[in-house]
Amino acid sequence: MPKTPDYFSGKTIVITGAASGIGRATALIFAREGANVVCADINEAGVKETAAAVNAKGSQALGMKVDVTRRAETIGMIQRAIDAFGQVHFLFNSAGAAIRRAKFLEIDDELMSRTFELNVKGTFYGMQAVIPHMLQKRFGVIVNVGSMAHRRGGPGSSIHYAAAKGAVVTMTMGVAREFATQGIRALSISPGPVQTPFQDAAASSPELVQRFLDDVPMKRFGKPEEIGELVLFMCSDACEFMTADTVYVNGGGGWR
């Protein structure tokens, strides 16, 4: 929570991957705090539902279909946010996926390319699009989604994804350090298993899901809202000395 009452009221956040899961949960949390929420996702129907839910909470929403793997669309997303609300204060790059599970020798060129395009380029394009604007305002917070996978390596199922998320965490740190004196903070969140559509999209087997669960001392998966509340804290004025870090949220597990 912020130190200042109504800190987020009237401020604007852009959220990618906002159609479901962590992105949608975060959108609704920022709406609760009175922020303007720009909801972006390749899933047009889902992102419209999120925008409608934000509006229903009394906040202002802008929902748009965006493919974050395309630079022009990502630049357009930021420009539309600025045109609508005047300033972008926060960017949450939530869009990402493992595409599909694969053992290391089964990872082909297409899977590797698609995984890096979505997770790395999608994050890279968003940051490059918004940072010039944040530099003009000398204010901005960027939060990217990493993963516990970058610490574990993803053996047997997702080395491609772990490598991509490792790149996200490293890139976030570099951006944070480069712009640390210019009013911009950049952080990443490395969750353990979270109950989202991600698992279904990646075709996680029941055995793999159980293995993830067995590694969590709390004996449950995280909730999207628990990640969203952390994003809120990271963006708030209660967190102004924090930058370049990744925060692990894993119920005590995810290290095996």
Q: What average pLDDT does this structure show over 139-143? A: 99
Instruction: Indicate if the alpha-carbon torsion angle 153, 228, 142, 47 is positive or negative.
Output: positive
Q: What average pLDDT does this structure show over 109-122? A: 98
Q: Which of 7, 125, 161, 248 is catalytic?
A: 161
Judging by beta carbons within 10 Å of its beta carbon (0-12, 13-18, 19+), is residue 89 exposed, middle or buried? buried
CA distance linking residue 251 with residue 256, whole number of Å: 13
Residue 142, H or E segment = strand 140-145
User: Is 248 a catalytic site residue?
Assistant: no
What residue spans define the domains of the chain?
12-249
pLDDT digits (tens, 9 = 90+) for 159-191: 999 999 999 999 999 999 999 999 999 999 999
pLDDT digits (tens, 9 = 90+) for 31-71: 999 999 999 999 999 999 999 999 999 999 999 999 999 99
> Which fold, 12-249?
Rossmann fold (3.40.50)
Cα–Cα distances (Å) from 190 to 39, 122, 170, 199, in that order, read: 22, 17, 12, 16
Q: What is the pTM of this model?
A: 0.95
Cα–Cα distances (Å) from 172 to 71, 167, 186, 244, in that order, read: 18, 8, 6, 6
Task: Look at residue 199 and tell me whether its pLDDT is greater than 70.
Answer: no
- At residue 196, the pLDDT reads 81
